[in-house]
Amino acid sequence: MSAPPALLQVRDLNVRMPTPAGTLHVVRGVTFGVQPGEMLGLVGESGSGKSVTLRALMGLYRRPVTVSGTVEFAGQDLLRASEAQWQATRGAQIGMIFQEPMSALNPVLTVGTQIMENLRTHRGLRGRAAAERAAELLDLTGIPSPRARLNDYPHQFSGGMRQRAMIAIALASEPRLLLADEPTTALDVTIQDQILRLLLRLREELNMSVILVTHDLGVIAQTCDRVAVMYGGRLMETAPVGALFREPRHAYSLGLLRSLPGSGARRAPLQPIPGGPPNLLALPPGCAFSPRCAYASGACLGAEPPLVPVAPDRASACVHAAALPSLTGEVSA
């Protein structure tokens, strides 16, 4: 809702997936924007639709999956773009990295070949110039002796190195937006720390925007400027990162933060959210979170509450947004 034009503006994004049991409405009317140079966190539990949202932005879905709404990137609606326009944007201006580098990298091509492929397609670099640039990119992502490692295959890299190599490939085209789908979930904590610092540094150096999808609130707290919380295919809340952890304005965000260990005395019972994630084929009436919500009232069961502004730069889809307590001092390291 702020003044400068967003690099990416998503409006009313819907993704539907037909299954034998019925059509799954996986992403339901999601609206958000990303500013140039901003790191936006998309957080949610399994089945919340966060990864599907990201893949839809990248145009990775084909029939029978349907994607509707608008995805405006640098003034152009990608969902209505021709295949040629898509090709010019995907990979070139929007890069993507995945959770499993081993399954995203081509095992029979050297890392150097895979970076240079991207350099040739999107930046027209060939031969020696491409090799030089590829080595620079590996160096930028913190891979030691980059020139020699260009000739290595993905299996010769460790997990953390593979993630660095995948970032180097994505950066080859100098994208303005990087989509990162759980990029550190498969990594050990000391390596995760290195990759997150790397993403922050690159964002700074290249003035890139990043959408980081994760289920880990700690990762969000450590890297993002703004957060969007998803549940049951909908955005529940968007907020600057500090504000979310201090005073969540959705009962779900509040419940999530309170369920984490560390808020009470050691070995004291935790405060779980009762029940389990919603069944997308049989969503409850009204707010999708209401059956598990401690604050649920009659007002939650009517029409599904829309995401509305509740403070400067903050929006919430919670009927009880104003009545929720703040968490100051409650959630600790």
Partner 1 sequence: MTARPLMDVRGLSKAFPAPQGLLARLRGEPRRAVQALSDVHLSVQRGETLGIVGESGCGKSTLARCLVRLQDADQGEVRYEDLDVLRLRGLDLRRYNRRVQMIFQDPYSSLNPRMTVGQMLREALSVHRLRPRAEQDARIQELLTLVGLPPAAAGRAPHEFSGGQRQRVGIARALALEPDCLIADELVSALDVSVQAQVVNLLLELQERLGLTVLFVAHDLRLVRHLSHRVAVMYLGRVVEVAPTEDLFRAPKHPYTQALLAAAPTLDPARRADAPAITGELPSPLNVPSGCAFRTRCPHAFARCAAERPLPTDVAGAQVACHLYSAPDGAVPG
Q: Which of 21, 94, 92, 22 is nearest to 56 (CA)?
A: 94
The total of other beta-carbon atoms located within 10 Å of residue 82's CB is 8
Give yes or no for residue 274 binding partner 1 (CB under 8 A).
yes
Residue 228 CB, nearest approach to partner 1 (Å) = 15
Give yes or no for residue 207 binding partner 1 (CB under 8 A).
no
Residue 241 CB, nearest approach to partner 1 (Å) = 5
260, 299, 308, 322: which one contacts partner 1 (CB under 8 A)? 260
Q: For residues 56 and 143, which CB has a smaller minimum distance to partner 1 in the complex?
A: 143
Residue 254 CB, nearest approach to partner 1 (Å) = 11
Give yes or no for residue 328 binding partner 1 (CB under 8 A).
no
C-alpha to C-alpha distance for 56 and 68, rounded to whole angstroms: 9
Structure token digits, residue 275:
């029940």
Q: For residues 262 and 309, which CB has a smaller minimum distance to partner 1 in the complex?
A: 262
Give yes or no for residue 282 binding partner 1 (CB under 8 A).
no
Structure token digits, residue 91:
């990979």
Q: For residues 125 and 254, which CB has a smaller minimum distance to partner 1 in the complex?
A: 254
Largest CA distance in the chain: 68
C-alpha to C-alpha distance for 237 and 191, rounded to whole angstroms: 30
Q: For residues 116 and 199, which CB has a smaller minimum distance to partner 1 in the complex?
A: 199
22, 64, 272, 285: which one contacts partner 1 (CB under 8 A)? 272
192, 209, 290, 316: which one contacts partner 1 (CB under 8 A)? 192
Query: For residues 41 and 223, is the Cβ–Cβ distance under 8 A?
Result: yes
219, 228, 236, 287: which one contacts partner 1 (CB under 8 A)? 219
C-alpha to C-alpha distance for 32 and 52, rounded to whole angstroms: 15
| Interface of this chain with partner 1, residues 38 to 97, rule: CB under 8 A | 45-46
Q: Which of 242, 218, 217 is nearest to 229 (CA)?
A: 217
Contacts (Cβ under 8 Å, ≥6 apart) of 105: 111, 114, 154, 162, 165, 166, 169
216, 301, 310, 324: which one contacts partner 1 (CB under 8 A)? 216
94, 161, 300, 315: which one contacts partner 1 (CB under 8 A)? 161
Give yes or no for residue 230 binding partner 1 (CB under 8 A).
no
Buried b / exposed e along 103-123 (16+ C-beta atoms within 10 A) = ebbeeeebbbebbbbbbeebe
33, 183, 232, 255: which one contacts partner 1 (CB under 8 A)? 255
Give yes or no for residue 188 binding partner 1 (CB under 8 A).
yes
C-alpha to C-alpha distance for 104 and 169, rounded to whole angstroms: 11
Q: For residues 179 and 241, which CB has a smaller minimum distance to partner 1 in the complex?
A: 241
Query: What would you report as the CA-atom Rg of the chain, rounded to the nearest whole angstrom?
Result: 21
CA contacts within 13 A on the Cβ side of 321: 20
Task: Give me the helix-helix angle, 127-140 and 159-171, nearest 10°.
Answer: 130
Stretch that binds partner 1, among 19-27, 166-174, 221-229, 299-307 (CB under 8 A): 221-229
Which residues here bind partner 1, judged by CB under 8 A? 45-46, 158, 160-161, 188-194, 196-197, 215-219, 221-224, 241-242, 245, 255-257, 259-262, 266-267, 269-274, 276-277, 292, 331-333
